[in-house]
Chains A and B, each alone.
Chain A
Amino acid sequence: EAGVAQSPRYKIIEKRQSVAFWCNPISGHATLYWYQQILGQGPKLLIQFQNNGVVDDSQLPKDRFSAERLKGVDSTLKIQPAKLEDSAVYLCASSLIRTGQETQYFGPGTRLLVL
């Protein structure tokens, strides 16, 4: 079974530029999560989708971050404009369903450096 795919793996941009990350979850997984992991910290949940609907985005900085999952499969996370403090690894995860006990399967992450 293929795992969660993410691209690109690495991205370097200058502040005030925009950037987009792509995630393809495990086939059949209805729930998709985006996390931000700053160096030395644990992952922080930004947004979670159930199929193509947003379940929770309370920790997403909506003035600069946006995410979509149009057909309930792939998802993109965008930052516009980027700030220095956005330098982090962006992780995508998926789970079969959302029960509160579900196992989440993580992708390899996209490492973003904002200069």
Chain B
Amino acid sequence: GNSVTQMEGPVTLSEEAFLTINCTYTATGYPSLFWYVQYPGEGLQLLLKATKADDKGSNKGFEATYRKETTSFHLEKGSVQVSDSAVYFCALRGNNDMRFGAGTRLTVKP
């Protein structure tokens, strides 16, 4: 079946550092890929998505590229801010299925 594996946390970075959170997937067919974020005290919300191979999703300075050859969708940001502290979830949608990774907690220190 479909599955998502993401980098274990927690991740602690200093402000303006470069961020990478790894995400790999296993799926049949052509799934859509997502990154959802949960800020402290808030509900899950979509950060970005990509619906086909080589697509790049981007939002709020974050980017992720749908790599079919490596079955990956790594999240990157060039310069993190304290306000980026949150839990990040990689997710896959295929047919009637929706699978989430376990989440990676990011803390950014000033």
Contact = CB atoms under 8 A, between A and B. Distances in A.
A43 B44 contact: yes
A25 interface: no
Given A33-B98, A42-B4, A45-B98, A100 B93 contact: yes
Interface residues of B, number: 24
Contact of B43 (A44, A101, A102, A108): A108
Q: What is the predominant secondary structure among interface residues of chain B facing chain A?
A: strand
A41 B5 CA distance: 11
A56 interface: yes
B44 A100 contact: no
Contacts of B46: 103-104
A42 B45 contact: no
Contact of B32 (A33, A93, A101): A101
A35 B93 CA distance: 14
B78 interface: no
Contacts of A43: 44, 89, 100
24 contacts: A3-B43, A33-B98, A40-B103, A42-B4, A42-B89, A42-B102, A48-B96, A55-B96, A56-B97, A58-B96, A91-B44, A100-B31, A100-B93, A101-B32, A101-B93, A102-B93, A103-B46, A103-B49, A104-B98, A106-B36, A106-B43, A106-B44, A108-B43, A109-B43
Interface of B: 4, 31-32, 36, 42-46, 49, 51, 89, 91, 93-103
Interface of A: 3-4, 33, 40-45, 48, 55-56, 58, 91, 93, 100-109
Given A40-B103, A101-B93, A106-B36, 5 more contacts: A42-B100, A43-B89, A45-B97, A100-B94, A108-B43
